[in-house]
């Protein structure tokens, strides 16, 4: 065995790579459980690619067959129901894991110097993941698949001059139809591989600068770090066990928890559902899109810009935050803003779930007002974070010199 | 070295405690808003149909099981009543034998729709004819309990939520003089669970009922193309069970819930073993993690 490894290592330094980047890779010893969600995201990605590959072996992208084929997988393919429920719920759990991963980065200042490129890879991954999830949701060709695709692709028409033509080009026709379904399947197969490649770049960028930690200070690698193996291999494995318990409880016992009943109705271009809702993980952004409704003919375009801006603003977050301290533990104002931001995301999600013309509090409060306020708070987080740090408004509490 | 480690730990513990104390109000906020997010949609957004009563279905839940006798009765109602118009395209007649029907019985079910036992459970009614008669093609029932908000409760609600004969008689009586008096309106509204604050809407509803519209308490918009499908005694059960409307509705929903996902029993059984395995495995991983990390702490 060692002879073989010697032969390989002389040609490709596999052992040295594993040693420096995996087994002996220095990792802060004070990482808490919020740091489990990065490896968890990779774990879910592998579950998604594996289950998706086997689903693709049975699936047909065809406006006349896709709905039936999904039911064929559910009923006739051996463990087809398991593949599909793993994949459909895996998407939801992927977003849960990634949202926690992103919020962890935001709270502990993991996007700050020198981790900006690492952060940008992450935001890009998030963007591509959203596109992949959106196109995957279209493939079962149920009512929500169809109408969700129609509503979201239609947004492109808001782009001045080329919008209308662009939408026709994306659809491959004058409405969402068979060509749309086919190209979405092709892209849904391709993009996870792009995600996988980007995840490797994300890891590379991580290993170039090493992990941030809950105290947010630069660590002494001799004193404060421990080898990744066995400490973090076992901790990550334990985290995966806990994750799998929750995930499998949903997959086996409430597999339709995240699915809209309407998507068990075959797509019907002649009949619009009473209420079109995207998947839960898009709801806050959907709410932001709809909240810009006061600009007359420019509302649609402004809404699209706001929705894209809500994610794009994450790219400049490393430059908005000017505090000398990374971690929000020692930044009282930032911390409060952060929790308001988290609560606001739930609020926006709720607004996005309800019909645009809904009212709440016995008719006293139109939901659009809540949506606009929520949108203002969402962007307000980034502006205020910049204001309180750029103008030294925030006084941070003492930061430990070491862990 | 030991002293340093201990101090480091104390400091960490102190930080964690301080963090805990600070985060708490915010954590409470998150919980409160999470709860609001779950609770508000119901109270916050008005819906047209009334709230569906929750039924107790023995096949729902982690340890839920299908009752074979109820399934058999459900098949009988489905074939003899529902399939006059509706199909279940994902189920073949032959598959019904797994509930204990004989080959002869299955053949008879198939022949009643002009099919053979190897065919899918397609209604004998021509869809074009159905559209002519009802204005819509009756939806396939294979997935009906999964495809409506409220699931099984919704289908049960629709089957039992039609205006009764006395409701219709009352509607006719109220509308006989062309307009509805206040007292009458209130009385009818209570019987049909309509919003008493909109008398003009109630009057309109009563007019449609009196004209023969298919009123259903639980249907969004209240009027649907399907006339009341189940009446007391519509089917004579082979096992002699009382054939009330409610009993038939329960049985047919049981069968339709099975038809929506025939693999669900297998799924739950496997899930139980998978979770048992995972819990034991994860506990072992946790023990191992503690042991390995003891070297650091």
| Model pLDDT for residues B36-76, shown as the tens digit of each residue | 555 554 434 444 446 889 999 999 999 999 999 999 999 99
Q: Are residues B271 and B137 in the same domain?
A: no
Mean pLDDT for B188-217 is: 85
Q: Are residues B199 and B286 in the same domain?
A: no
Least confident of A214-228, A269-283, B89-103, B165-179: B165-179
How many domains does chain B divide into?
Answer: 2
Task: Assess if residue B235 is contained within a domain.
Answer: yes
Sequence spans of domains, chain A: 20-272, 277-403
* Nearest residue on chain B to A83, alpha-carbon basis: B267
| Helix (H), strand (E), coil (C) string for A201-234 | HHHHHHHHHCCCCCCCCCCCCCCCEEEHHHHHHH
Task: Assess if residue B10 is contained within a domain.
Answer: no
How close B138 gets to chain A, by Cα (Å)? 13
Q: pLDDT-derived band of residue B183, with 50, 70 and 90 as boundaries?
A: confident
Q: Are residues B146 and B197 in the same domain?
A: yes
How close B34 gets to chain A, by Cα (Å)? 7
Is A235 one of the catalytic residues?
yes
Q: Are residues B174 and B288 in the same domain?
A: no
Beta-carbon contacts of A356 under 8 Å, excluding residues fewer than 6 positions away, are: A290, A293, A367, A368
Taking alpha carbons only, the member of B50, B55, B53 closest to residue B217 is: B50
Q: Are residues B220 and B82 in the same domain?
A: yes
Q: Is A402 a residue whose pLDDT tops 80?
A: yes
Q: Is B77 within 8 Å of B156 (Cβ atoms)?
A: no
Mean pLDDT for A322-340 is: 97
Task: Write down the pTM of the prediction.
Answer: 0.91
| Helix (H), strand (E), coil (C) string for chain B | CHHHHHHHHHHHHHHHHHHHHHHHHHHHHHHHHHHHHHHHHHHHCCCCCCCCCCCCCCCCCCCCCCCHHHHHHHHHHHHHCHHHCCCEEEEEHHHHHHHCCCHHHHHHHHHHCCCCCCCEECCCCCHHHHHHHHCCCCCCCCCCCCCCCCHHHHHHHHHHCECCHHHHHHHHHHHCCCCCCHHHHHHHHHHHCCCCCCHHHHHHHHHHHHCCCCEECCCCCCECCCCCCCCCCCCCCCCCCCCCHHHHHHHHHHHHHHHHCCCHHHHHHHHHHHHHHHHHHHHHHHHHHHHHHCCCC
Q: Is B17 a residue whose pLDDT tops 50?
A: no
Task: Assess if residue B59 is contained within a domain.
Answer: no
Cβ-Cβ contacts under 8 Å, B22 against chain A: 332, 335
- Give the three-state DSSP class for A266: strand
Q: Which of A29, A343, A366 to probe the B interface (max B CBs under 10 A)?
A: A343
Is A279 one of the catalytic residues?
yes
Cα–Cα distance, B73 to B250 (Å, whole number): 10
Taking alpha carbons only, the member of A49, A61, A59 closest to residue A86 is: A49
Q: What CATH number has the domain bearing residue B219?
A: 1.10.760.10
For domain A20-272, give the CATH superfamily: Cytochrome Bc1 Complex; Chain C (1.20.810.10)
Q: Which of B30, B40, B267 sits opposite A81 (nearest CB)?
A: B267
- Give the three-state DSSP class for A156: helix
Q: Is A182 within 8 Å of A189 (Cβ atoms)?
A: no
Q: Which of A79, A350, A352, A403 to probe the B interface (max B CBs under 10 A)?
A: A350
Runs of H (alpha helix) within A80-218: 80-107, 116-138, 143-154, 163-171, 178-209
Q: Are residues B247 and B272 in the same domain?
A: no
pLDDT value of residue B21: 41
pLDDT value of residue A356: 86
Cβ atoms within 10 Å, residue B279: 14
Q: Are residues B156 and B112 in the same domain?
A: yes
Task: Assess if residue B20 is contained within a domain.
Answer: no
pLDDT digits (tens, 9 = 90+) for A171-209: 999 999 999 999 999 999 999 999 999 999 999 999 999
Least confident of A81-85, A205-209, B184-188: B184-188
Q: Are residues B195 and B231 in the same domain?
A: yes
How close B171 gets to chain A, by Cα (Å)? 29
Q: Are residues B78 and B221 in the same domain?
A: yes
Q: Are residues B160 and B269 in the same domain?
A: no
Q: Are residues B155 and B287 in the same domain?
A: no
Task: Assess if residue B77 is contained within a domain.
Answer: yes
Q: How many CB pairs under 8 A join A and B?
A: 128
Task: Assess if residue B11 is contained within a domain.
Answer: no
Q: Which of A81, A234, A359 sits opposite B288 (nearest CB)?
A: A234
Host domain of residue B114? 68-260
The reply to whether A250 touches chain B by the CB within 8 Å rule is: no
pLDDT digits (tens, 9 = 90+) for A87-110: 999 999 999 999 999 999 999 999
Cβ-Cβ contacts under 8 Å, B268 against chain A: 252-253
Q: Are residues B163 and B108 in the same domain?
A: yes
């Amino acid at each position: 065995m060692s002879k073989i490894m010697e032969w390989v290592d002389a040609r490709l330094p596999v052992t040295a790579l594993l040693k420096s980047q995996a087994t002996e890779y220095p990792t802060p010893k004070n990482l808490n459980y919020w740091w489990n969600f990065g490896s968890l995201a990779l774990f879910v990605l592998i579950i998604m690619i594996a289950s998706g590959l086997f689903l693709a072996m049975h699936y047909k992208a065809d406006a006349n067959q896709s709905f039936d084929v999904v039911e064929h997988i559910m009923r006739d393919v051996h463990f087809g129901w398991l593949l599909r429920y793993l994949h459909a719920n895996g998407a939801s759990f992927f977003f849960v894991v990634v949202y926690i991963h992103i919020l962890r980065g935001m709270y502990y200042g993991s996007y700050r110097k020198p981790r900006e490129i690492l952060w940008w890879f992450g935001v890009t991954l998030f963007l591509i993941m959203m596109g992949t999830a959106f196109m995957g949701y279209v493939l079962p060709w149920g009512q929500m698949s169809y109408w969700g695709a129609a509503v979201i692709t239609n947004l492109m028409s808001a782009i001045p001059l080329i919008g209308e033509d662009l939408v026709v080009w994306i659809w491959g026709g004058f409405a969402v139809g068979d060509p749309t379904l086919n190209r979405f399947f092709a892209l849904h197969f391709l993009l996870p591989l792009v995600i996988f490649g980007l995840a490797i770049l994300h890891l590379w960028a991580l290993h170039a600068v090493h992990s941030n930690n809950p105290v947010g200070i630069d660590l002494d690698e001799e004193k404060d770090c421990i080898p990744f193996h066995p400490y973090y291999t076992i901790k990550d494995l334990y985290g995966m066990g806990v994750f799998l318990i929750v995930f499998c409880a949903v997959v086996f016992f409430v597999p339709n928890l995240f699915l809209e009943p309407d998507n068990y109705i075959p797509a019907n271009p002649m009949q619009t559902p009473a209420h079109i809702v995207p998947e839960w993980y898009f709801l806050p952004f959907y709410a932001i899109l709809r909240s810009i409704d006061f600009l007359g003919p420019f509302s649609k375009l402004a809404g699209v810009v706001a929705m894209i801006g809500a994610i794009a603003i994450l790219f400049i977050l490393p430059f908005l935050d000017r505090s000398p301290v990374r971690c929000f533990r020692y930044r009282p104002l930032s911390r409060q803003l952060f929790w308001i931001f988290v609560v606001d995301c739930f609020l926006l999600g709720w607004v996005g779930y309800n019909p645009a013309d809904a009212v709440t509090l016995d008719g006293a409060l139109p939901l659009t007002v809540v949506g606009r306020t929520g949108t203002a708070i969402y962007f307000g987080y980034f502006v205020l974070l910049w204001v309180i740090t750029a103008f030294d408004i925030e006084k941070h509490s003492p930061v430990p010199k070491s862990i | 070295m030991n002293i340093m480690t201990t101090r480091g730990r104390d400091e960490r513990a102190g930080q964690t405690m301080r963090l805990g104390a600070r985060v708490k109000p915010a954590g409470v906020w998150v919980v409160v808003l999470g709860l609001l997010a779950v609770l508000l949609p119901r109270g916050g957004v008005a819906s047209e149909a009334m709230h569906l009563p929750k039924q107790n279905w023995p096949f729902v839940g982690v340890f839920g099981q299908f009752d074979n006798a109820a399934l058999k009765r459900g098949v009988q109602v489905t074939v003899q009543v529902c399939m006059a118009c509706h199909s279940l395209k994902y189920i073949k007649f032959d598959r019904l034998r797994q509930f204990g029907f004989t080959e002869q019985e299955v053949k008879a079910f198939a022949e009643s729709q002009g099919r053979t036992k190897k065919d899918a459970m397609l209604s004998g009614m021509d869809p074009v004819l159905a559209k002519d008669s009802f204005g819509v093609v009756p939806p396939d029932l294979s997935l009906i309990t999964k495809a409506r908000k409220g699931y099984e409760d919704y289908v049960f609600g629709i089957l039992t939520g039609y205006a009764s004969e006395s409701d219709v008689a009352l509607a006719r009586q109220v509308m006989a003089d062309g307009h509805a008096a206040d007292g009458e309106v209130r009385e009818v509204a209570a019987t049909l669970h309509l919003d008493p604050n909109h008398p003009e809407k109630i009057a309109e509803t009563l007019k449609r009922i009196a004209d023969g519209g298919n009123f259903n308490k639980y249907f969004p918009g209240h009027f649907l193309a399907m006339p009341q499908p189940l009446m007391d005694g519509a089917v004579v059960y082979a096992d002699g069970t009382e054939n009330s409307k409610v009993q038939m509705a329960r049985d047919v929903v049981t069968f339709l819930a099975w038809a929506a996902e025939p693999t669900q029993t297998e799924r739950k059984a496997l899930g139980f073993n998978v979770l048992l395995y995972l819990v034991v495995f994860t506990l072992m991983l946790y023990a191992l993690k503690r042991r390995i990390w003891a070297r650091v702490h």
